[in-house]
Amino acid sequence: MSDQTLSVVSFGWEITNLHDNGADVYFPVQRDMIFQWLDVDVATMLTSLPSSAGFLEVLCTGAVGRGGPPKFGPAPQAYLETPDSTNFGSIATENPEGLSVGIGPTTPGQDGFFATILKAFAPSTGAASSASRHVHTEPDLVLRRGDYLGFHMDHAGVQVDGEMQVVIGYARL
């Protein structure tokens, strides 16, 4: 017999013209709670045939803003920015072959609770050019009234529509 039931909320957002840019959505937490689990479903698709074949990728992230709205990086990506963790050090690379390596952030970001990267190739016919993911995670994060939850999508490559559906399970404190 379960002795702990939860509450759930859901929202979704869609960007119909992702094209080498990004945006964010955020909302406030209005009571103290434990953010127990998260289901995120993300998907991309072409909305017209590409002018030429090419890759597409969409980065999808989520993070907590403590005591206020989250911070965002500059356009065009407008990344959801998280404070550097004080529990982990900066990220080092071992790259003897001189590969093209990108890292972000350079120190693990505190209170980042979700990150998914969608990638696909869009041929001239558009066949098999969609990408998607469903993520279930259990952050078990304590959230206080006045904190915020923020979600981000940014894109590179062939223009696409991107959509994120979010379900949050939480226990009121």
Partner 1 sequence: MIVTETRIPRRQLLGAGALAVAGATAGTLVTSPSASAAPSASRAGGWSQMVSFGWEVSNLHNNGADVSFEVLDDIVLTAADIDVATMILSLPSAPGFQEVLCQAAAFRQTTPTYGTPPQVYLQPPATKDFGATTYDNPNGLSIGGDSPPYQDKWMSIILKAWVPADGTASSASRHIHTEPMLALRRGDYLAFHMDHAGVGVDGEMQVVLGYQPFGRDWR
Among 24, 59, 64, 111, binds partner 1 (CB under 8 A): 24
Q: What is the DSSP letter of 79?
A: P
Residues paired with residue 40 on neighbouring β-strands, in sequence order? 135, 166
Binding segment for partner 1 (CB under 8 A), chosen from 25-33, 83-91, 95-103, 105-113, is 25-33
Among 58, 149, 156, 157, binds partner 1 (CB under 8 A): 149
Residue position matching structure tokens 């840019």: 21
Binding segment for partner 1 (CB under 8 A), chosen from 18-26, 86-94, 97-105, 109-117, is 18-26
Contact characters 56-95, partner 1, x per CB under 8 A = -------------x--x-xxx-x-----------------
User: How far, in Å, are 82, 94, 100, 101, 102 from residue 97 at the CA level?
Assistant: 30, 9, 9, 11, 14
Residue 47 or 86: which CB sits closer to partner 1?
47
Per CB under 8 A, 21 contacts partner 1? yes
Per CB under 8 A, 5 contacts partner 1? yes
Residues paired with residue 115 on neighbouring β-strands, in sequence order? 61
Nearest residue to 162 (alpha-carbon basis) of 10, 24, 8, 50: 24
**DSSP helix/strand/coil, 89:** coil
Give the C-alpha separation, 147 to 95, whole Å: 39
Write out the residues near partner 1 by the rule CB under 8 A: 1-2, 4-18, 21-31, 33, 37, 39, 41-47, 49, 69, 72, 74-76, 78, 122, 125-130, 132, 134, 136, 149, 161, 163-170, 172
